[in-house]
Structure 1
């Protein structure tokens, strides 16, 4: 398995955007798959915020994760965010998500970012095992979520 910048593997942009849309599209009413593809293209930075990393084997996409400025409208003061961590169902249980998360943490450290945030409704235990700390619990878009942070040591 390899993890690299999505901008260096543009052949995965449409597939990753489509997977993200299928997973979370309901939370962005009015957004289309095409909107998500364009957002993914715009987020394809390298060594910057925003950026996107992908996990792949051979020519097969396994999953991806984003480093973005903001991901929670209710907390505009918190920045930047780990977002869109997604691993294909058939690839789960292999540590792909953990490796994607830690690659984004490494990116934040390289950029001198002292704290990185995320929110989750289902994966709090995974993130806690990787060193993320709970900031607060709240209701967002009618969904109970946990906001977490990672202190990068910078």
Structure 2
């Protein structure tokens, strides 16, 4: 594990919610118009949990927020049979290349197991699976997600 990284529930560090909302908005919503910044913030506020979904986990290096990821229900409306999802994996641009996403995903897998989740799903714009393939997620199919081609993957826990 990356020794200078610490993981926290966003519920325990809500002062970072505004920054994360801006990251998500700029990365996934600003160009598409999918959600407003206020709507992104409101969705994140629902993830201020420790013992139930949705939940957000943040990665700090010292006092610097360097990443975030979420466990949530039903990320894709077209596939409601897939219940538990890993999503919102984001690493700050200044911290990329330090395996933070990998450590965040591994930490969230531990959280999912703690919550007795049996299978995790995700969608990625990396149609080859990227990091997620390396961490044992298996490709299921490609799909359209709000105008973007994605690969839906799963991992049995």
Structure 1 length normalisation: TM-score? 0.92
The 3 A distance-change label for structure 1 pair 4 and 89 is same
For 1:57-92, what per-residue CA distance to the aligned partner results, in whole angstroms no more than 9, with x for missing partners? 222110100101011122111011001000011211
8 Å Cα contact 2:138/2:154 also seen in 1: yes
For 1:27-77, what per-residue CA distance to the aligned partner results, in whole angstroms no more than 9, with x for missing partners? 863621111112111111102211100001222110100101011122111
Q: What is the Cα deviation at residue 141 of structure 1? A: 2.4
| Structure 2: gaps of 5 or more residues | none
Aligned to 2:12: 8
Distance 2:31 2:135 in 1: 26
Aligned to 1:144: 149
8 Å Cα contact 1:137/1:146 also seen in 2: yes
| Structure 1: gaps of 5 or more residues | none
For 1:74-133, what per-residue CA distance to the aligned partner results, in whole angstroms no more than 9, with x for missing partners? 211101100100001121111100111111111110111110000001271210001111
8 Å Cα contact 2:125/2:149 also seen in 1: yes
Tell me how large the CA RMSD over aligned residues is.
1.6
Q: Secondary structure of the equivalent of 1:144? A: strand
Q: Secondary structure of the equivalent of 1:44? A: coil
